[in-house]
Structure 1
Amino acid sequence: MTISPSVRPAGSTAVRTRRRPRLLVAAATLFLIGCLWHWPPNALQYDLRVYVVSAQAFLHGQDIYTAHLAYPKDMALGFTYPPFAALLFAPVALLGTAGGRVLMTLLNASALLAIGIVTLRALRPQWSRYRVAAIGMAIGAAGVALEPVRSTFDLGQVNLILTALLLVDLLGHLPHRFRGVLVGVATGIKLTPGIFIVYLLVTRRYREAATAAAATAGTMVAGAIAMPEASRQFWGVYMFDPSRPGATHFISNQAWRGVFARVAGGIDGIAPYWLLAVVLTCTLGFLAVRRAYERSLVLESVLLAAVVGLLVSPISWTGHWVWALPICAVLVHHTLQARSARRGVLAGLALAWLVTMAFGLPWHSPHLGDKEYTHHGIQLVVGNSYALCGVAVLGLALYGFRRRLTRAA
């Protein structure tokens, strides 16, 4: 006797429903273990060492901005973040070097999965939670194919963590009264997320902008109470020194200032051109941001603001470009959704971003030993390819969001 296809065994749906969370947890656990396997506790994670040295200095009552001088030059660079960041890194310092590496790797891996999930939720709001979580985690895990993501893991950086915090906040995953808090906290850690306070103003989310500004001020006060002298030095001196994080012309700096320094053969005389590029990028970039937001393309507006921030910051190392993951996802999504007349352009841009970020093209041009100053021809394109990808996506957005269009691009 056969069972009709329309008849289901009792409880089968409930069993599958119970299995789904277990499958997701198992998949996430395997990914976390895989990340630990690839970036084990004995991995170098150079930037994490900087965080640990500064946090240990704080715990021992020393100056967090000069503590690195007690180490060999190749062991630790100077701490470049606000004092509040050193407070947050104190637990990492207490764990020790190996424990800190494990914690940072797990946090970065978790942030990567979160980025994939919130990105997909914004692109597919009608999908079920399980489907978004499963496919979103797969998108996030695929992010390790991109050089900015790998660089963040390699260095033990905080880029993925900050990106996840910002997306969760800006895409509305917090209760209304708390929206803007994570933007402020992220800004208190690394300053550059402050571009999103401008984003909130441009998109007329004034209450969230005020909350973000207040949260940022709170981090400044906390840092000043814990380390008054270090706070005075940072806010009065160090934050105005763009060369403190490293050489401006180094190939890893894919911000406008790095591009101009490489093309001009040094930073002397580039200030007028750099400032002009910053003004134009902010003006046109936030115009595209506003138009995207008015068309209810919230995720796209956030990503455009991120590109603006990456280009206008004095330093944007390749690891800072972890925004490439959601940007690539959005470009692929719009390519699949576009009409045939525009599909070719979008597909070309998506392919350019994927290839550039997967292979880390700037690293394939001459670098180190001031070789960046010798670039010519195709080397100029390859050596500045991250910045060029950013300009291309802003340009396409401006074209697609022209005022005479009555629907979103």
Structure 2
Amino acid sequence: MALSTVEQVAGAKQGASQRRVIPLSVVWAVSVLGALAGWYYLGQVVAAGQTMLHMVDLGTYQIAADRVVHGVSVYDSPLRGNTRGVWEFVYSPFAALLFVPLAGLHGSAFTWVGALGNFAMLTGAVWAALSMLGYRRDRRLLVLGLSIAGLLLLCEPIRETVAFGQVNILLLLLVLVDMALPDSSRWKGVLTGIAAGIKLTPVFFVLYLLVTRRFRAAANAIGALVVTLVVGLAVLPKDSWTFWSGAFADPARVGVPENPQNESLRGMIARSLGAGDVAQLLWLAGALAFTGACLFLARRLSATERELPAVALCGLTTTVVSPYSWVHHWVWLAPLLICLGDLAIRRRGVVTAAGLVVAFAVASGGVFDLLGIHYGSVFDLPNRGPFAVLDHNAYIWLTLALFVSAAWWLRRSAEQSARTAFELSH
């Protein structure tokens, strides 16, 4: 079935659709599970606070903020120590300005503001994701959002982001809230542009807006990005010149690509084949292939009113194709788990349940302690032997599996729509 026909069918459905009510049984069940997960997480924090809430990265942002306040460059030298590629500031000058309020926080207030702030933003991101799934914005959604946020503390990238005090959940929130806005909103795209002004990877969503023909939103995103650049240039002209004249594209500021913690396609190739010119070409070719496949599938998903799966797929692709992706960059596994959970509830069966279980097993880490399995996560398995390329790059393989699943579902959906259209016409 042609894409235009699918879009026409989807458009007809959209006109007659209404927001779904969350079943009370689902709210209760998820609330109980969320409370148990939150209690377990708090138990870990109490038992090992220096491990669960060490806030090392948030402390590094605080050093950057202090440099801004005192007129010292954030790019000329590492923020901690003197080793190139370790603790260097890799965000934009605009991001450095956003971190300035951190300069006045100290002690336990610093830790709890970082932790509770991330949990609040995670809850907001969950609410936005549920809204994109078509659920009614009512008290049930508010309760369910808090409960799901508690459950997502068992997702390793989420847990690491909270522990490090990273910005990833903030970027997730900005993009999800933006994409949840109706296409008629004059502000759609602005938050995505701001997210890209903090860290460049959300620029990928501008491509998504373009391929889905939301040109005004794409223009808004580009305009907001330019505004963040101008603000940074006005307040920090020297640092802005350093960053935009080449520092933003300097991979040496992050570290060597074969680092075991680099969970991107480039990291997988570098660990398997080395970091030479051939590996670099393979990574570029693979990144282009991932990008093309993702945008094709995301456009089809969006055309059939599957906006959250489309956005989640784009978010996961940004981490795959990025030159360097730490585990905590993979926070886009959170909306994926929400999509799969919603699918498992609406279409109960072995396949949907198995998909949710597999994705949760890959995304989780410490949750396995509940079952007496203490290896921590898939990335703690030995990085050697014939299966090392599988277990140590599990997020990438999971993303590939999602590509295949999305392509299969879209083909099946198109065939069913074609049969329905044929039957109606005869």
Q: Name the TM-score class by shorter chain.
A: 0.7 to 0.9
1:69 and 1:139 mapped to 2: Cα distance? 35
Residue aligning to 1:130: 139
Residue 237 in structure 1 maps to residue 246 in structure 2:
yes
Q: CA shift at 1:253, angstroms? A: 1.8
Q: Find the partner of 2:96 among 58, 81, 86.
A: 86
1:99 and 1:255 mapped to 2: Cα distance? 34
Residue by residue, what CA displacement relative to the aligned partner does 1:366-407 show, whole Å, maximum 9, x if unpaired? 3xxxxx5xx332222110001111111122112211284345
Identity of aligned residues (%): 31
Q: CA shift at 1:202, angstroms? A: 1.2
Q: Which amino acid aligns with 1:171?
A: A
Q: Which amino acid aligns with 2:57?
A: D
3-state SS in 2 of match to 1:401: helix
Residue aligning to 2:422: none
Q: Find the partner of 2:65 among 43, 47, 55.
A: 55
1:35 and 1:120 mapped to 2: Cα distance? 28
Residue 270 in structure 1 maps to residue 279 in structure 2:
yes
Q: CA shift at 1:305, angstroms? A: 1.0
1:350 and 1:37 mapped to 2: Cα distance? 27
Residue by residue, what CA displacement relative to the aligned partner does 1:173-197 show, whole Å, maximum 9, x if unpaired? 7981221111011100011111111
CA contact (8 A) 1:41 1:98 kept: no
Q: Which amino acid aligns with 1:100?
A: F
Q: CA shift at 1:327, angstroms? A: 0.4
2:184 and 2:296 mapped to 1: Cα distance? 28
CA contact (8 A) 1:192 1:313 kept: yes
Q: Find the partner of 1:108 among 89, 113, 118.
A: 118
Residue by residue, what CA displacement relative to the aligned partner does 1:202-250 show, whole Å, maximum 9, x if unpaired? 1111101100100000001111111111111111121121232233222
Work out which structure has the larger RCO, using CA pairs closer than 8 Å and 6 or more positions apart in sequence.
Answer: 2
2:322 and 2:275 mapped to 1: Cα distance? 17
Residue aligning to 1:223: 232
Instruction: Name which of structure 1's ranges 390-399 and 346-355 shifts more when overlaid on structure 2.
Output: 346-355
Q: Which amino acid aligns with 2:364?
A: A
3-state SS in 2 of match to 1:223: helix
1:115 and 1:97 mapped to 2: Cα distance? 28
Residue aligning to 2:357: 351
Residue aligning to 1:7: none
Residue aligning to 2:334: 325
Q: Which amino acid aligns with 1:377?
A: P
CA contact (8 A) 1:41 1:101 kept: no
Residue by residue, what CA displacement relative to the aligned partner does 1:131-157 show, whole Å, maximum 9, x if unpaired? 111112101111101110110011110
Q: 1:279 to 1:35 in 2, by over 3 A?
A: farther
Q: CA shift at 1:283, angstroms? A: 1.0
Q: CA shift at 1:41, angstroms? A: 9.1
2:317 and 2:141 mapped to 1: Cα distance? 28
Residue aligning to 1:363: 379
2:308 and 2:333 mapped to 1: Cα distance? 13
Q: Which amino acid aligns with 2:222?
A: A
Alignment length, in residue pairs? Answer: 368
Q: 1:69 to 1:356 in 2, by over 3 A?
A: closer
Q: 1:265 to 1:102 in 2, by over 3 A?
A: same
Q: Which amino acid aligns with 2:260?
A: I
CA contact (8 A) 2:320 2:396 kept: yes
Q: 1:174 to 1:222 in 2, by over 3 A?
A: farther
Q: 1:129 to 1:64 in 2, by over 3 A?
A: same
2:125 and 2:389 mapped to 1: Cα distance? 32
Q: Which structure 1 segments of 5+ residues have no match?
A: 1-22, 367-371
Residue by residue, what CA displacement relative to the aligned partner does 1:342-371 show, whole Å, maximum 9, x if unpaired? x444333322210011126442233xxxxx
Residue aligning to 1:380: 389
CA contact (8 A) 1:307 1:390 kept: yes
RMSD, aligned α-carbons: 2.8
3-state SS in 1 of match to 2:258: coil
Q: 1:285 to 1:222 in 2, by over 3 A?
A: same
Residue 196 in structure 1 maps to residue 205 in structure 2:
yes
Q: Find the partner of 1:164 among 169, 173, 195.
A: 173
1:267 and 1:351 mapped to 2: Cα distance? 37
Residue by residue, what CA displacement relative to the aligned partner does 1:279-336 show, whole Å, maximum 9, x if unpaired? 1111111110000000011111111111221111111211011111110121122233
CA contact (8 A) 1:184 1:194 kept: yes
Q: 1:250 to 1:268 in 2, by over 3 A?
A: same
1:404 and 1:286 mapped to 2: Cα distance? 18
1:35 and 1:172 mapped to 2: Cα distance? 37
Q: Find the partner of 1:117 among 127, 132, 156.
A: 127
Q: Which amino acid aligns with 1:304?
A: L
2:363 and 2:339 mapped to 1: Cα distance? 15
1:128 and 1:404 mapped to 2: Cα distance? 30
Q: Find the partner of 2:306 among 290, 297, 300.
A: 297
Q: CA shift at 1:52, angstroms? A: 1.1
1:69 and 1:40 mapped to 2: Cα distance? 24
Q: Which amino acid aligns with 2:325?
A: S
Q: Which amino acid aligns with 1:319?
A: H
Instruction: Name which of structure 1's ranges 175-184 and 398-407 shifts more when overlaid on structure 2.
Output: 398-407
Q: CA shift at 1:163, angstroms? A: 0.5
Q: TM-score, length-normalised on structure 1?
A: 0.82
1:249 and 1:70 mapped to 2: Cα distance? 22
2:106 and 2:60 mapped to 1: Cα distance? 13
Q: CA shift at 1:101, angstroms? A: 2.8
Q: Which amino acid aligns with 1:226?
A: V
CA contact (8 A) 1:120 1:132 kept: yes
Q: CA shift at 1:108, angstroms? A: 0.3
1:89 and 1:173 mapped to 2: Cα distance? 30
2:42 and 2:248 mapped to 1: Cα distance? 37
